Amino acid sequence: MKDSHGMTPIVKTVTRVSVWLILLYGCYIILHGHLTPGGGFAGGVVIALAFLNVMLAYGKSFTAEWLNIRLLKDIEAASITLFLVLGLLGIAFGNAFLANFLGKGEMFSLFSSGTIPLFNIIIGIKVALSLFLVVWVLADIDSAKGGDL
Amino acid sequence: MPIESWLIYTLGIMLLGSIVALEIRDILSAIIAIGIVGLAVSAAFLFLQAPDLAIVQFLFEIFALVILVRAFIGKKAHADTLSIHKVYAFLVALALVAFFFLFTPVFRSLPPFGEPLLTTSSHYLTHGPQETGAANIVASIVLDYRAYDTMGEVTVLFTAILGALTVLRMSRQTQKGREPK
């Protein structure tokens, strides 16, 4: 099993469909974090697993073409800054760091509970990208030693 | 059946899984046994009515299993045969059992599970939905009341990933430096 080849065509065909479903599920869990069980961390792990699915099925070189790894690294570093900026906006509008300064909205609706969904989205991006990048770098080490993946 | 008995069953499965993971020779079987332990933890969270934690534990277990399988499959694992004298093993087991029985009065005097509700948590439970507008009480605590904690967690994650990337890049550079020679 070489780098560029990935797994069998059966796995590749299934992956082609399943990746989008997994990504959709991850986005659903992140966006509904303030309504149903789950949230940023769980949804982020789901999205990281979707990227991992592509990497295992298609190999590293295809994934490097499919995803812009440099951009992912930048977004990963920027997401924590975004978290802090949102916290500082709480000082500006809500008198306290990380204050919930947006309107509470109607309960059980998607756009409710102020900044909680925004924090969920930021944490989701952060967790998804950092977990995926760790696997990416580990796989690099593996292939440098002569292993596959 | 009360929750405690279900928890005892899952605890038994966890114990079995960890013993198998320690004792089995085949590395893949050991990894799968570790996975059984993690999934039992997830089931235990479900029995304790913590679906948020159960989801995270379940997903992270899958993630960790994939990494472990990819890292260890096809590699030669050298099994250390740890030889402990049977008398010592017996003595340690005896000491643990004696320790357990010494503490049984403490277990008896423990209050029932989750019984005296702290004032802070009762405030969260009664006022949380009104104050934050979030239907999921866990989200309202993690991202509103205790958002500071979450910021710390995100920082820890960021630092950990940064450290891992740096260390791995350093080791890769040394490997590349060695290759031409």
pLDDT in tens, B34-69: 999 999 999 999 988 888 899 999 999 999 998 888
Q: How far apart are CA B30 and CA B121, in angstroms?
A: 40
Q: How far apart are CA B88 and CA B85, in angstroms?
A: 5
| Facing residue for B144 by CB, picked from A38, A83, A116 | A116
Q: How far apart are CA A69 and CA B27, in angstroms?
A: 32
Q: How far apart are CA B161 and CA A107, in angstroms?
A: 36
Q: How far apart are CA A47 and CA A59, in angstroms?
A: 18
Q: How confident is the model at residue A1 (pLDDT cuts 50, 70, 90)?
A: very low
pLDDT at A26: 93
Nearest to B137, CA basis, from A27, A112, A33: A33
Pick the more confident residue, B164 or B96: B96
Say yes or no to pLDDT of B87 above 70.
yes
pLDDT at A2: 45
Q: How far apart are CA B72 and CA A105, in angstroms?
A: 50
**Mean pLDDT score across all residues of chain A:** 85
**Concatenated DSSP letters of B35-74:** HHHHHHHHHHHHHTT-HHHHHHHHHHHHHHHHHHHHHHTT
Q: Residue A36 corresponds to which tokens in the numbers above?
A: 């149903």
Say yes or no to pLDDT of A140 above 50.
yes
Q: How confident is the model at residue A137 (pLDDT cuts 50, 70, 90)?
A: confident
Say yes or no to pLDDT of A47 above 90.
yes
Best of A75, A113, A131 to substitute, by most chain B Cβ atoms within 10 angstroms, is: A113
| Facing residue for A130 by CB, picked from B51, B62, B161 | B161
Any idea where the domains of chain A sit in the sequence?
Answer: 9-144
What percent helix, strand, coil does chain A show, rounded to 5? Answer: 70, 0, 30
Residues of B in contact with A116 (CB under 8 A): 132, 134, 139-140, 143-144
Pick the more confident residue, A36 or A143: A36
Exposure pattern of A121-149 as b/e (b: 16+ CB <10 Å)? bbbbbbbbbbbbbbbbbbbebbeeeeeeb
Per-residue pLDDT reduced to its tens digit, B2-27: 778 889 999 999 999 999 998 888 88
- How does DSSP classify residue B180? T
Q: How confident is the model at residue A138 (pLDDT cuts 50, 70, 90)?
A: confident
Nearest CA in chain A to B59: A45
| Facing residue for B172 by CB, picked from A106, A120, A141 | A141
Residues of B in contact with A80 (CB under 8 A): 154-155, 158
What's the whole-number mean pLDDT along residues B94-98?
Answer: 94
CB interface of A with B, residues 2-41, below 8 Å: 29, 33-39, 41
